[in-house]
A = this chain, B = another copy of it.
Amino acid sequence: MQRVRAAVMSRPGSIGVKEFPFPELEPRAALVRMVMSGICGTDKHTFEGLTHHAGFQVNFPIIPGHENLSIIEKLGRKEDGWFDGNGVPLKQGDRVAPVPDVRCGECYTCKNFYGWSWCDRISAYGGQLSSRDPPHLFGGWAEYMYLLPKTSLFKVPDGLPDKIAVLTEPMSVAYSSLARALTPYWLVKEGSGPGDSIVIQGSGPIGLTHAAIAKMAGAGKVIMIGDPNERLEVAKQVGVDQTVSIEKYSTPQERVGRVLELTEGRGAELVIECVGSPTAFKEGLEMVSLGGTYLEVGNYVDAGEVSVNPHQILSKCIRIIGVNGNPYQAFGRVLTMMDLNWKHYNLDKLVTHSYNIDSAESALRTTQSLKGIKVVVTPS
């Protein structure tokens, strides 16, 4: 009888391949064959022992992998038919991106917070659902993945290369994040609109997806603060207008000063924290213009407190927006936007390394090294 191979992280620091029984499908569930799965900064944090995430605690043992690209292998019985998150009919063999958060659809949060991934009884692949519980295959670093009823799937446009399609989840993080900041205003300079300056703190994959979506959505000058220089070079290819190297500008004062220089002394209308450290939060507030917006995206894992001055927030009329959540609708919109724009923004430069599940530990080590940008894991 067929067995399914998967990389299992049994505790921080320990990962290796295990075999699981080939699953039976309950009604409304689906089985997908993995094409590839990206490594998120959160996977790295989990491996390093930071297991308190926004919304849940990691339930070891787990099969990591929530940035998934896959092929439909089998669809469970569903009397009202199978459709993707845009209402498009689904069938075996379709290439799909599954949404990693499964919402119950019945709780207060599901009923009222449309379009976000929040749920009072959330199930999430790649960390929150444990591989201890049958049918086990709840992460993308595997040959197959089992999708619970109520999982949203999105069909990938035919011409979109796998290397781009695997970015759907991190791109939709950026989309959901910018949705909250770029919305309000075109004329009254409170908030940020087309043509405004944006600072992105951090040049990792999440910083880069924010840069790409921001440019696709009409941002003006995009300034990225980060390192190493190799990443900043790629940043320019995905549309970043100006880079600020941490190697060169090595103190907060220098970086704040450089941003002010690049924004006529005013700061940027939008600053996005994609570093994930409390001190970046404090530093970033200094870079926001009068009436500007600050998006807190990076501190997805609890890394402690930092002191801030409420008077500063008041004086500059800053808006700080916490961003947790990655709604299924973003998947559909991001696939459309990548399909239209991926060549112009060179999105094929983002996936730089690929490992199979037997080398999952090496894959994680590569992520830690800051070599390259997005590392992916394939089933074989």
Binding site for B on A (CB under 8 A): 54-55, 80-81, 83, 85-88, 104-116, 118, 120, 175-176, 178-180, 182-190, 193-195, 216-218, 220-221, 241, 266, 273, 278, 281, 290-291, 296-325, 327-330, 332-333, 336-337, 340
User: In the complex, what distance in Å separates the CA atom of A54 from the CA atom of B290?
Assistant: 12
Chain B hits for A118, CB < 8 A: 290-291, 317
Which 10 pairs show the lowest CB-CB distances between chains A and B? Answer: A87-B108, A179-B186, A217-B218, A313-B322, A112-B189, A114-B114, A54-B315, A320-B320, A299-B310, A115-B187
Chain B hits for A317, CB < 8 A: 116, 118, 321-325
Q: Are B311 and A320 in contact (CB-based, < 8 A)? A: no
User: In the complex, what distance in Å separates the CA atom of A115 from the CA atom of B185?
Assistant: 12
* A110, A187, A189, A316 pick with most chain B CB within 10 angstroms: A187
Min Cβ gap A9→B in Å is 22
Q: Which residue of B lies closest to A321 (CB)?
A: B319
Min Cβ gap A270→B in Å is 14
Chain B hits for A186, CB < 8 A: 175, 178-179, 182-183, 333
Q: How many copies does the complex hold?
A: 4
User: In the complex, what distance in Å separates the CA atom of A323 from the CA atom of B300?
Assistant: 27
Chain B hits for A325, CB < 8 A: 317
Q: Are B307 and A306 in contact (CB-based, < 8 A)? A: yes
Min Cβ gap A260→B in Å is 14
Cβ-neighbour of A302 out of B114, B115, B311 (below 8 A) = B311
Min Cβ gap A368→B in Å is 21
Chain B hits for A110, CB < 8 A: 87
Query: Chain A at the B interface: mostly helix, strand, loop or mixed?
Result: loop
Cβ-neighbour of A315 out of B55, B116, B241, B278 (below 8 A) = B55
User: In the complex, what distance in Å separates the CA atom of A307 from the CA atom of B297?
Assistant: 19
Known: A83-B107, A109-B290. A190 touches B116 (CB 8 A): yes
* A81, A108, A300 pick with most chain B CB within 10 angstroms: A108
Min Cβ gap A312→B in Å is 8
Q: Are B194 and A217 in contact (CB-based, < 8 A)? A: yes
Min Cβ gap A325→B in Å is 7
